[in-house]
Structure 1
Amino acid sequence: MIEAPDLTAARARLLELIKELAVVRGKVILSSGAEADYYIDLRRITLHHEASKLVGVVMLALLDEAGIQGVQSVGGLTMGADPVGTAVMHAAADADRKIDAFVVRKAQKSYGMGRQVEGPEVRGRRVVALEDTSTTGGSALAAVEALARAGAEVVAVAVIVDRDTGAKERIEAEAKVPYLFAFSKNDLGLDQ
């Protein structure tokens, strides 16, 4: 695990970058169909040269601080979760820990090996479903369902930013796993 002063600095810098690069003001329609006065475009963070590394460090620490033990693989529904899983995998490697990443397709392939969960095998492994952000929890729940069908043991769902729109409650009720987030919309100054 990263030392507290370094983690504090990493969290502060990541929050600064999210506010600067990812928060877009104005009316938008979210993937859930809901309308919002702002959009949190976290791909501007997860695919950014500096922020990506910070995402990995902060999300790995989030799992550790929550006591989520023995995680062997992380990932989620493509595309928002893909760079988050990769960032966590690299942060774990930097900490001399072995955590793989996976990608959950929106639908099972009808060709090749016919997989919906791509990457190293998840069957029998302790996994965390990741997302960049969640509004209704639908994408994370789709990933959890696909992982369960693939034989994984889902131990948590974790997101970078929680929009405080019911995803936490829905995921914890339906998936019966903890829902963790690194930052709230209030942390971003979006408390309206």
Structure 2
Amino acid sequence: MSELLELKKRLAKILIKKSYKEGDFTLSSGQKSNYYFDCRQSSLNAEGSWLIGKIFNILLKDYSIKGVGGMTMGADPLVSATTVISHEMNKALDGLLVRKEAKGHGTKQFVEGLVNFSEGDQVAMLEDVITTGGSVLKACKRIEDVGLKIAVIAIILDREQGGREILEKEGYKVISIFTRNELVELGK
């Protein structure tokens, strides 16, 4: 069995146990769903965090990127895990965090971590789950507004509800660790 598949199976078990709930939910997009995925419960778990960082590094190894970024607060543990593991793997990736609102004092910026980047650098955007893609699309625009380029958007769970297609229509390449069916199957 490949290393990636083994890591995905381990992560799926943690995600199913800690982050995946079935029932009647309203998502941040306003859509109704018969399941909810709260990735922070797993990404803030020591093993879950390590697995997410390791898997993202494996998936991103063939991209010429300087770093990874994402919308705070959901992507904070994803960015941290991925940057730390990248250092262990001798392919250091720096991190960026995109604020929902501009900082109210000091530099009043939307993006944190820019000191580690130069204009034109390519980055990967990280996201825990996409439904419509609205949150990560906003983060991508803010990253582009500061002069960086988006090489790829990497997602833990693609709900397969149109988000990937919206992001691809905007010109972004999208990869995911799991779809819902893959997650449930590997998490058994």
TM-score normalised over the length of structure 2: 0.92
Query: Which residue pairs with 1:181 in the alignment?
Result: 176
User: Structure 1, residues 7-59: CA drift from partner, whole Å, max 9, x if none?
Assistant: 33212101111112111111111111111111011001111111100000111
Aligned length: 183
Q: Which of 141, 144, 147 is the equivalent residue of 2:143?
A: 147
Take 2:72 and 2:21, find their aligned partners in 1: how far apart are those partners? Answer: 22
Query: Which residue pairs with 2:15 in the alignment?
Result: 18
Query: Which residue pairs with 1:131 in the alignment?
Result: 127
Q: SS of 2:23's equivalent?
A: strand
User: Structure 1, residues 89-125: CA drift from partner, whole Å, max 9, x if none?
Assistant: 0110110111011110012224211210001434321
Structure 2, unaligned runs of 5 or more? none
Query: Which residue pairs with 1:30 in the alignment?
Result: 27
Take 1:13 and 1:154, find their aligned partners in 2: how far apart are those partners? Answer: 29
Take 1:5 and 1:178, find their aligned partners in 2: how far apart are those partners? Answer: 24
Q: SS of 1:188's equivalent?
A: helix
Query: Which residue pairs with 1:44 in the alignment?
Result: 41
**TM superposition shift of 1:188:** 2.4
Structure 1, unaligned runs of 5 or more? none
With over 3 angstroms needed to count, the CA separation of the structure-2 counterparts of 1:189 and 1:12, relative to structure 1, is: closer
Q: SS of 2:175's equivalent?
A: strand
1:30-109 equivalence runs, <5 A: 30-64=27-61, 67-68=62-63, 70-109=64-103
Identical amino acids, percent of aligned pairs: 34
Q: SS of 1:7's equivalent?
A: helix
Take 1:52 and 1:170, find their aligned partners in 2: how far apart are those partners? Answer: 28
Q: Which of 3, 8, 11 is the equivalent residue of 1:6?
A: 3
The answer as to whether partners of 2:12 and 2:184 remain within 8 angstroms in 1 is no
Cα RMSD, aligned residues only = 1.5
Q: SS of 1:102's equivalent?
A: strand
**TM superposition shift of 1:5:** 4.0
